[in-house]
Amino acid sequence: MYLAFLVIFLQCSELYAQEKVFTFNRVEIQVQPSVRVKNGAPMSIICHADIIKNTDFQLKHNFTFFKDGKLVFMTISDKKVAQYEIPVAKSSDTGDYECTVKVDGKLGFSNTTYVWVAGMTKPILTADKKEVLEGEIVKLRCELPEEVPPLVFFFRKLKTNSAPKEKHILEQNQNFSEMEYYVEAEDNILQFDCFGKRQVRSGWDSSQHSNKTLVTVKESFIKPTLITRPSNNITEGDPIEFECSTVVAQMRDIEIIFQKNRTILNSVRDKKFLKYSTVATQEDSGEYLCKVEQGAVSKTTKLNVFVSELFPKPTLFASVTELDENKDLSLNCSINGLRRANFSILRKSSSGDILLKKSRFLAIKVNVNDTGSYICKAEVKGIVKESKPVRISVYAPVSKPTLSVVSGSPEVVLGKPLQLICHSAMGTPPITFTFYKGNEMRKNVTNDTYATFLDEDIGLNDNGVYKCDARNNHSSGVKTSNILNVTVIVPIRGASLGSVPYGEVEVGSDTAFLCSVKEGSWPIDFKFFKKTDHEVLLHEVREYSDRTIWHKRTMKRKDTGTYYCMASNRASVDVRSRPITISVILAAWQKGVIAAFVLTAMAGAGAVALWWFLHKKKKAKGPSMEMSG
């Protein structure tokens, strides 16, 4: 009976366990009031688990909320819904949200929802100083206390009637940033503000501008004053004094610089004024600048000064600017509208001007060393002015030029270029050289003492007659060189070798070898060779002809072989003939002697054989005859 109750109990328990079946239908995530929330407003992230059960029974739900993959909130509830409350939404709460629900080992996942908290908190700006001097530094601090980095901070320097000067900096690890501004000259009242930005999926989110921070600027020194004494009606020769001054708040590292254009004329340190004096010249007209510097602050004042001309620049006149040596030259210096002045005439030199005469007039007989630039100077009331230079060129006549071949020898190989040089040992440059081939002018060259000419058109029929002219600005005219005759060397072409007799030669006879060329200038060097395991030179000769004959006496059997010849001339090109083969054979009488000797030997051998046979036969008959007797 008890056993029956136990079986019934176990069956009921198994049935009860089988009845607690559930499954996730879906897990949803929602945002209240919406997925776009205004900065500072409350926001709720709601996670709802839709679970299907086979019967009504209670479950424990483990809710986990994630933002951008990082856990932000967890809770356990009997209900199917849980929410993550954010009372004050900040821009840093922008991101991707999702949730998971774990129930009795089963896990459900929601979709991902992007939430954008629009806007950022208003930043707070502070300055380390409320009052500064020009050139000092203002340090600013901008803070976004409720935001999370990374953040970009923008600082602005605000001036009346001027565009804001903006700087920005990225902060990866903190929600504040600091920036320094130099206070520039003429900054009076400054205002600063800042704002922040952060990057979101849809672009950039921007904060409001911070409070404006006011900074009062005091001048470290006033703009300098620049005056001249006298202040007007300044004429060349008058003494003139410049004075630059300022008022300084702190006499520390102050510098006054006085300059004209880009030239610094004077400077002082740690003083409130500067003076500069000079005797006025017309070159002193122009714009002057007084600059006062202290640290990074600089202030300037400009002043235009006009100096009236006392007298114009002198003019130097020459009787002639190009003349032959030993001719007369006159130089005259004058000033338009002024007769009384201290004049001097000089020749310019790299080592300094050379004084020729303290006068307005100079007359000399010139030589080539007097070539150069001449000037005159005039002095009135201590003011010295210089004329424009006048170039004087003195010419010595050119000497008779010499014409020669650059390579030295007066000859050229056909087809090769010929370079000539024309040289005049004397004569003032520039010298113009003219080259002629025959009576035809080929080239003009202007140089100092020589010129070269390259004739690349050398033909077989050229007569090779050249000359050159030389001339300069001397009145003597043109000088002509002697005639240069250049020999055209025709290179060797088409060497050939023959022999008499040809092919076969009897021993003891003579052989004539003939080597000839189709073309080539004389003399020609002929060489005869026999080929062995090395080249053997047999004979060489120089001929004023296009051929030569070499007689080889008493040929021997060892002279059998291959022969060739080689021809060359002053073109320095060796031309080789085709080889011929010579066979040295026995003469007819030598063959007869050998035949007779052979026949005689054969006859002698036959006679000996016959004698031996007869002698042997005779010995055989002798005993027979005795027996018969």
Give a three-class secondary structure readout of 160-200: CCEEEEEEEEEECCCCEEEEEEECCCCCCEEEEEEEEEEEE
Indicate whether 385 belongs to any domain: yes
Q: Which tokens belong to 439?
A: 């009576």
Instruction: Quote the pLDDT of residue 594.
Output: 62
134 burial level (CB within 10 Å; 0-12, 13-18, 19+): buried
Indicate whether 250 belongs to any domain: yes
Kindly state whether residues 431 and 480 are assigned to the same domain. Answer: yes
pLDDT digits (tens, 9 = 90+) for 58-115: 899 999 999 999 999 999 999 999 999 999 998 888 889 999 999 998 999 999 999 9
Cα(428)–Cα(298) distance, integer angstroms: 60
Report the 10 Å Cβ neighbour count for 75.
13
Indicate whether 339 belongs to any domain: yes
What secondary structure letter does DSSP report for 93? G
Cα(304)–Cα(232) distance, integer angstroms: 11
Indicate whether 256 belongs to any domain: yes
- Picking from 308, 328, 361, the residue at the C-terminal end of a domain is 308
Contacts 24+ apart (CB under 8 A), 436-444: 436/466, 436/467, 436/468, 436/469, 437/462, 437/465, 437/466, 438/463, 438/465
Is the Cβ–Cβ distance between 138 and 217 less than 8 Å?
A: no
Kindly state whether residues 506 and 580 are assigned to the same domain. Answer: yes
DSSP-assigned states of every residue in 555-586: --GGG-EEEEEEEE-TT---EEPPPEEEEEE-
Q: Using alpha carbons, list the distances in angstroms from residue 599 to 188, 248, 606, 607, 610.
A: 148, 148, 10, 12, 16
Kindly state whether residues 303 and 390 are assigned to the same domain. Answer: no
Q: How far apart are the first and last CA of the chain?
A: 180
Cα(410)–Cα(64) distance, integer angstroms: 110
Residue 413's CATH number: 2.60.40.10
Kindly state whether residues 304 and 323 are assigned to the same domain. Answer: no
If one counts the domains in the chain, the total is 6
Kindly state whether residues 480 and 564 are assigned to the same domain. Answer: no
Ordered mean pLDDT values, 10 residues apiece, the chain (629 residues): 48 55 93 91 94 89 95 93 92 91 92 90 91 88 90 91 89 94 80 91 86 87 90 88 90 90 92 92 91 87 92 93 93 86 92 92 93 94 91 94 90 88 93 92 91 86 85 92 90 91 84 92 93 86 92 86 92 91 74 63 73 70 41
3-state secondary structure 367-411: CHHHCEEEEEEEEECCEEEECCCEEEEEECCCCCCEEEECCCCCE
Kindly state whether residues 48 and 114 are assigned to the same domain. Answer: yes
Q: Using alpha carbons, list the distances in angstroms from residue 451 to 134, 431, 478.
A: 72, 9, 15
Indicate whether 554 belongs to any domain: yes
Report the 10 Å Cβ neighbour count for 429.
15
Residue 384 φ then ψ, to 5°: -110, 130
Cα(11)–Cα(5) distance, integer angstroms: 10
Indicate whether 446 belongs to any domain: yes
Kindly state whether residues 323 and 303 are assigned to the same domain. Answer: no
- Picking from 308, 336, 355, the residue at the C-terminal end of a domain is 308
Report the 10 Å Cβ neighbour count for 575.
21
Kindly state whether residues 93 and 172 are assigned to the same domain. Answer: no
- Picking from 394, 424, 448, the residue at the C-terminal end of a domain is 394
Indicate whether 465 belongs to any domain: yes
Dihedral over Cα of 626, 627, 628, 629: its sign:
positive
Residue where the block lists tokens 């409320």: 130
Kindly state whether residues 367 and 434 are assigned to the same domain. Answer: no
3-state SS assignment for residue 514:
strand
Kindly state whether residues 438 and 477 are assigned to the same domain. Answer: yes
Instruction: Quote the pLDDT of residue 328.
Output: 94
Instruction: Quote the pLDDT of residue 619.
Output: 65
| Domain with 324 in it | 315-394
Kindly state whether residues 294 and 335 are assigned to the same domain. Answer: no
Report the 10 Å Cβ neighbour count for 555.
19
Nearest to 74 by CA among 394, 163, 83: 83
Dihedral over Cα of 442, 447, 448, 453: its sign:
negative
Indicate whether 546 belongs to any domain: yes
Instruction: Quote the pLDDT of residue 626.
Output: 38
